[in-house]
Amino acid sequence: MTNLYYAIVGTTTDTNMGLARFMGVILAFIVVVGTLFWAIGG
């Protein structure tokens, strides 16, 4: 999980940008999973 975090956020000092990107990835993941569940559950 830590490797994935570093892969997304990166090791740069721009923590805010990395955090925003990380949150964006989480949000996108939730949207995709939610859409799949909605499509399957109908």
What are the pLDDT digits (tens) for 1-42?
A: 677 767 666 665 667 777 888 898 999 999 999 999 999 987
Region of 10 (left: φ > 0; alpha: ψ -120 to 50; beta: rest) is: left
Q: How many domains does the chain have?
A: 1
Q: What are 8's two structure tokens?
A: 């997304």
Which pLDDT score is estimated for 14?
Answer: 66
Cα–Cα distances in angstroms (integers) from residue 20 to residues 2, 6, 36, in the given order: 17, 13, 24
Q: Which residues span the domain enclosing 29?
A: 1-40
